Each structure stands twice: as C-alpha cells, then as structure tokens.
Structure 1
Amino acid sequence: MFGFSRKATVLAGAMVLGLAAPVSAQDKGQVNVVCVLAEWCDAMRAPFEAATGYRMEFLNLRSNEALVRIRAESSNPTFDAYFAGTGDPHFVAAREGLTEYHDSPLKSELLPDLVSAVDGAYLPIYANPIAFAVNPQVLEQAGAPMPASWRDLANPAYKGLMGMADPNSSGTAYVVIATLVQLFGEEEAFDLLAAMHQNMASYTRSGSGALGPVGQGELGIGVIFMSSIVREIQNGFPIEIVLPEEGTGYEISGVSLVKNGPNPEGGRAFIDYVLSKEAQDLGEPTGNPQPKANMNATLPEGAPEMSKVNIIDYDFVTYGDPDLQSRLIGRWTSEIFPVPR
C-alpha cells in the first residue's frame, strides 16, 4: 500500500527536477496531492479529472511522513491537498499553520458529529471506531461469555484468550487507553487496563496484529479498529463485531487544504470531490471499508451505520497532545506491562 504508484513516481520526479507537466488549453492545470491511501487515490484520479477538468498527481506517503514532508516544504509548498491517514497529523498540520480549512459546499452532506469533532481543523472522510473482534466458537469452547462492555474484559474467564497492540508501537492501542481514561477517569481506567493485562495472551506491534489469531481460532477477543474486523469478516473468517455498550473511541481520517499550495482552487476542487458520495464509495473496493463521512455513501458490507455506533465525545485536541500521550503510554509501560500474567 505504501509504495509509490506510477502516478506518484511521475510526480516525485517532476518535483525533484522543479518541472511541472504541460498544461493544455482544455484543462485547468494540475492538482498535487500527498496521499496516504494510494489505491483510493488512484481509483479517484480518472473520475476526478473528468468531473472537474483538473489533472491529478499524487505522492504516496505514510501519515507521519506526509506531515514531515508538508512541514519541510512550508516555505514553498509543492502539494495542494493532503488526503487520508490518521487524524492526529491533520490536527498538527492545522495547528502549525501548514494547512487551512476549506468550507466545502459538500459539508452539509457529512455526518454532523464528525464535522464538529474535528473542530474546523480539517474535513472528515471516514470514522473508524475501536471494537472487539470476537470469535464465538473459541469463547464457547472455553466456557466464556460473549463480552458486551469494556468492563467485561476484566473477566478472568478470558485469561489467555485476549490480544491487543502495544501502545509503544501502535496508535490503535493509544486510542484504547485514551478512550478508557475519558470514559472512566484515569485511575479506574488503569485499574481496568491492569485487569485486561491479566487476560492478554500477547501484545502485538501493529494495531490489527491480534486479528489474525482471532480469525484462526487462536484467540477469542481482539481489541482493534473496526475496519480491520470488517475486512476479516468479508474474507470469510468466523468472527463478529462487538461495540462496547459504554461507548467507544475512534479515529477520524480526513482531507486538508495545504496552505499556499501551487493550485489552491484545484486543491479545493479535489476536497469537494473527495467528500462526494461517488468518491467515498470508491473506498471499500480499494480496501478501505470504514464507515464514510458522507451520509449518502454506501455502507460497507458488514459494517454498522456510524450514526448507530455509540461513540464517546472523544477529545481529539487534548488526547492528541504529545506530552499527554507520552505520559499515558509511559504509565502503561511502567505500571501495567511489567506485571507477570
């Protein structure tokens, strides 16, 4: 996913040489996008060009790499828009003045809760809640009940049956910690994390690392972003999605307008297209089955409607603060992880 596409390679070469592709009399010029989800960008390119008259080129980078690139080019930006990836880098880019808000006419089609949650830092394209991936057969064989809540995960019946990522290497696991702190307060959250620790078979490096063992019947419960569970269900694995009854945290991916980019009108046109039902419906076929921000977008197979998910009032600004993040992860690492299981 994270290699350069053909179009991304062309764009990178042109930028190194300081050249721009020739503009024909029939088009409106070129829009340069830094894109975290290459397959989705590649699928959007032709219909975007046909709909708007702009040509689109993109460079595929990981979320934090995209932020570093935009920051490094702030005095002379080469990109017009920044698409997808986790929400934190979009917040940081807005806070540092690297991006600016585009008040898109498509905003009225977006889920209001997602728009308000990002508070004018960027525009949302999808939400991805934390959920439990559950293998009912494994739990039945172990005589363990189906979980319904975060507090249920403290049940000793799940000992050795649970998996989650390590927050030192995974943003997914940090969202879990931040969610519990916001739901229960820090002390009760860490008591719950300590009880969950006793049930963990292992901690994985990646956020979705526990999903394979759950699908293969090695674990009964994985705490993971919902989109990964949806993909596993679509691939035929015998697992179910459980959304905790107290509510759950989530990430909001988005799209941002790069400040002082070479083609700001083209960047705005790209953002407007990205927010459309047509563009959002290209997400699932390219491996992105998250519930989309556009209320008219087709719901991915196996995913619950986002409006029916009990999401908490997640404080993205506070819990995206690097100092708080470092402190909470440090506390987990010193107080929870070393305790024998």
Structure 2
Amino acid sequence: MSHRSALAALGAAGLLLLSGCGGVPTAGPAPGSDQPTAAEAVYAEIGALNGAERRDRLMQLAAEEGKKLSIYTSLNADIADIVVPQFEQATGIDVDLYRADSETVLQRTLQEASAGFAGADVVETNATQMAIIAEEGLFGTYRSEYRDKVNEQFHYDAWTPTRFNIFAPAWNTNLVGPNLVPHSWKDLADPEYDGILSLEVSDYDWYMTLYTHFRQEGMSDAEIDQLFADIVKGAKVAKGHSGQVELLSAGEFGVIAASYTYLTEKARSSGAPVDDKPLVEPVVARANGAGLLRSSQHPAAAMLFLDWMLSDGQKIILENGLTPSVMPDGSDPLGDLKVLPVDVQQLIDEGSQWSARYDEVIRGGEQLPER
C-alpha cells in the first residue's frame, strides 16, 4: 500500500480516535491543499528576520499565542527529557510532548491531518517519515540562519535536519587486531570476517545506499550481489542496533557491518572494548529532522523551538552522544568526511523493493534471537 493510500485509510480511524477522545477538530489544511494558513503568515514574516529582532518578535507572538507548544517526536526519551525542560526554561513556553516510534508519529500526524485536527505544531522524527509528511503538503516553509548552516547535501524543501544517524563498521578491540580493522566497505566481504561479522535486520536503507554507490562506481548488479552475499556469508543477523552493540561489547561477535556511530561511541565511553575509528568512508548518513506544521495553532512557539533546537539544542544533542546537524560552534559535523546521504525520495519510491531485497540477502546469515 502506498503512503497516500495509507493516509486515506487512516483518516477514518483518525476521526474515530479524535471523537472518541472527546476532541473537537480544529480546522487545518487538507493534505495537499495550497490554501495559505495563519501559521504560514507567521513563518513568512519571521523568515525574513535574524538575530535579536527575530527572537524578540517570536517571543512577543508566542506570548500572544498563550506560550503553548505541541511537539510530536521519536527522539529517545532520555534525551527528550533533557531537551524539553531546557527549552521551557529558556523561553517560558509550556510544551505538550508526544513521544513514540517514528511510524507511530507518522500515523498520528497523518490521521489528524485527514481529520482536519490541528494537533502538533512541530514534528521531529526520521527522514523517511518527515519526507512523507512533507509530500502530503503538511509542512510550512522554515527559513533561518541556523538552517543555512546545515550540510548542503541534507537541505530538504519542507523540513530541516536536527541530527544525523551515521552508519559505520564497529569492532571489538579485544577480538579484532589491527590486521582485521576494516578500511573499506568491500573489506567486509573478506573470508576472514566469516563467523565474526554481524548485520542488523532492518538496515535496508544502508544496503540501498551502498548498492547505489557501487553501481555509480561502475560495478554490475551481479558483482554487487556477490559482494553482499560474501559479506553475509557466516554473518550473525541481529535485531536492533542498541542490542547489537551490547552483543559486540560482550564479545558475541567481533565486527558490526553498519553500527550507528553514536551507539558505538556511547559504549566506548562507558568502558566497552569497542571502536569505529578511523571511520570507513564514505560514511552512510541519514538525517532526522523537524518541520513546522501549516496547521499549527502556535506557529511562533514552533518556530522558536526549531530555532532553539538548531542552536542551543545542538549542544544537548552532542553532549548526549548523538550527531548534531550543526556543531555548537556553527561548523559542519560532516565537513571532514566523505558522505553518502541516504536518498530519502528513493526510500519513499522504492523502499519496499529494497527492503524485500535486503531481507533476501540476510537470509544467508545466522538469525540471532531478539535481545
């Protein structure tokens, strides 16, 4: 089922959900509607301002809105519990936070839009879900000096990256000596990794991105298929990146083909014998980001939050082991790396095909029980 069909199917459920909760739908733009909204007028006015003038005007308008803000996010609870109070303290805005996994955030956003209910002011979640919401025409235009600092490869029309997930091999330093540290993605196909390598069950976006990269390098599909078959041969297939890093730390296997760098660093910082430096390049990077809803009832507060998230909030992201979209000093965290961005539009258009292909590939490995 396409996401557009899913939207239609979810609409009725959304209406029932909202009526069952006693909520009174607040008129918002229908998905795909070109009719300007009151929120978009605020976004347009503030988008032309910078610095203290911008913040002062946002604070004035946010006060007129009642100093309220509704955020839907898939940000980890431990980090969201730091981000929200610090934003509230900095601005005096009272935040109503809805936190769930990325698919649930998407479903709720689409349900409410189909029902004409203005729920979220800001949505912050994974790239694929953000792109689907954007394709439905639900986001307004956000312009700011903070957005301009984000790596150009990750500039999207209707939403802005707030953090990155970077895929790179990681290894247990007690089990893997210098001779087995991978220096390229193709190294993982070496028979020396048979029995000590692990892949993650849901990494079809990583697979799709590398496959496309190898094609662009001139490899044939047959050659790429053989490469991945050699990578998977003797590999252990784990479910969940966090659990996978725990198993790596415990020595259940020696190498992870594509770990999130922030999870590797978090484990290393806690004393686990793991490392991923030097990073295998080009790294595969996928953005998580935020967008301002066209139906927002608190557009100034929403804009204030995204400004803050891309400035002061980036320090919190970094301090908690994630990769910010902009370093606290304004520099690009990806600036010194060769990067392969996950093609979000390709994921939307072809995701089910790549997911099925990856499922077939990893059948060649040993399936580990969920941890």
Alignment TM-score, normalising by the size of structure 1: 0.79
Q: 1:206 is matched with which residue?
A: 240
Measured in 2, the distance between the counterparts of 1:137 and 1:65 equals: 39
Task: Compute the RMSD of aligned alpha carbons.
Answer: 3.0
- The match for 2:204 is 174
Shift of 1:221: 0.4
Counterpart of 1:77 (choices 118, 134, 139) is 118
Aligned-pair distance for 1:88?
A: 0.7
Q: How does 1:9-48 map to 2 (within 5 A)?
A: 16-18=21-23, 28-37=66-75, 38-48=77-87
CA distance 1:339–1:48, change in 2 (3 Å) = closer
Please report how far the alpha carbon of residue 125 of structure 1 lies from its aligned counterpart in structure 2 after TM superposition: 0.8
Which amino acid is 1:225 matched to? Y
Equivalent position to 2:193, from 144, 158, 174: 158
Checking the alignment, whether the CA contact within 8 Å between 1:27 and 1:55 is kept in structure 2 is no
Q: Equivalent of 1:279, from 313, 316, 332?
A: 313
Alpha-carbon spacing, 1:310–1:243, altered in 2? closer, same or farther (3 Å) = farther
CA contact (8 A) 1:134 1:221 kept: yes
**2: distance between equivalents of 1:298 and 1:134?**
31
| 1:148 equivalent in alignment to 2:183 | yes
Between 265-274 and 209-218, the greater mean CA deviation after superposition: 209-218
Count of matched residue pairs: 304
Which residue in 2 is equivalent to 1:321? 348
Structure 1 counterpart of 2:159, from 122, 126, 133: 122
- Displacement of 1:336 after TM fit? 5.4
Shift in alpha-carbon separation, 1:226–1:80, aligned structure 2, 3 A: same
SS of residue matched to 2:241: coil
Partner SS for 1:100: coil
**1:340 to partner: Cα distance:** 8.8
Deviations 1:156-207 (A, max 9, x none): 11110001111xxx2xx1122112212202443322110011141x111213
Shift in alpha-carbon separation, 1:211–1:78, aligned structure 2, 3 A: same
Question: CA separation in 2, counterparts of 1:224 and 1:232?
Answer: 11
Structure 1 match to 2:225: 190
Query: Which letter maps to 1:190?
Result: D
Please state how far the C-alpha of 1:305 moved relative to its aligned partner.
4.4
What's the TM-score, normalizing by structure 2? Answer: 0.73
Shift of 1:18: 4.0
Does 236-245 or 189-198 show the bigger shift? 236-245
In the TM superposition, what is the alpha-carbon distance from 1:27 to its structure 2 partner? 7.8
- Residue 333 of structure 1 pairs with residue 359 of structure 2: yes
What's the CA shift for 1:25? 7.8
Which residue in 2 is equivalent to 1:309?
A: 337
Partners of 1:332 and 1:27 lie apart in 2 by 48
1:58 maps to amino acid: L
CA 1:94–1:252: 2 relative to 1, 3 Å: same
In the alignment, the residues of structure 1 paired with residue 22 and residue 365 of structure 2 have an alpha-carbon distance, to the nearest angstrom, of 55
CA contact (8 A) 2:65 2:298 kept: no
Q: Which residue of 2 aligns with 1:138?
A: 175
Tell me, yes or no, if structure 1 residue 259 matches structure 2 residue 294.
yes
Q: Flag structure 2 segments of 5+ consecutive residues without an equivalent.
A: 1-17, 25-61, 216-220
Percent identity for Structure 1 against Structure 2: 21
Candidates 254, 259, 262, aligned match of 1:220: 254
Instruction: For structure 1, list consecutive stretches of 5 or more residues without a partner in the other structure.
Output: 1-12
SS in structure 2 opposite 1:282?
helix
2:89 is aligned with 1:57? no
Q: Residue 309 and residue 72 in structure 1: after superposition, are their counterparts in 2 closer, same or farther (change >3 A)?
A: same
